[in-house]
Structure formats: C-alpha cells, structure tokens
Amino acid sequence: MRPAEEFTDTDPRALEVWLSLQRRMPLGDKLLAVLEASRFLLQMYEAGVRLDHPRASEREIFLRTAARHLDRSLMIRAYGWEPAPDDNPGRRP
C-alpha cells in the first residue's frame, strides 16, 4: 500500500510506527485527538481574526472566526450576520 501524498516526505519506517500507534489507539483517545485538533484549528482562526481586527469586540471576533469555517448562507441563517467576502477566506460567497 502506497502512503498518501502528504506522507511522501516521511521515512516509511517512521510512518509504519505512527500508523501502528494509530491502529492500537482506543476509540475514545482517537476522538479526543480529533476534538483537540479541531479546537486548535479554531484557536488559530481566532488568532488570525484578532491580528486582522485588533479593535473588534468579542462578539465580532466570534462572528468573524465562525465566518472562516462556516458557509456564508449558514452564517446568515445561524447568526443573522453577513460576512464581508474578506471575512471568509477560502470560501466562495
């Protein structure tokens, strides 16, 4: 089995050790790892918003952070807030 493209720079022996550890990890630990990675990603989104908008209120930080990972239509439906196109990097309006 050939490794995914994102692992092509990893030594095959190191990759096998990592995959073996992943296979043996209890499901609860796997879920915890995914949730922690998601939390980290949201923190990075928030940090970017704070850098881009240093004078924003906490509510505005929350909304702009949400706009970085939610679709525009969902932002409008869920929060009644329409992000500007630059508030939604990587997403199409």
Residue 16: inside a domain:
yes
Residue 4: inside a domain:
no
What is each CA distance from 87 to 8, 36, 58, 69, 83, in whole angstroms? 33, 24, 15, 10, 6
Residue 3: inside a domain:
no
Q: 88 and 72 in contact (C-beta within 8 Å)? A: yes
Residue 3 has pLDDT above 70, yes or no: no
Range of the domain at 19: 9-87
Residue 92: inside a domain:
no
Q: Tens digit of pLDDT for each residue in 17-67?
A: 988 999 999 999 999 999 999 999 999 999 999 999 999 999 999 999 999
Number of domains in the chain: 1
Residue 54: inside a domain:
yes
Residue 24: inside a domain:
yes
Query: Does the global pTM surpass 0.75?
Result: no
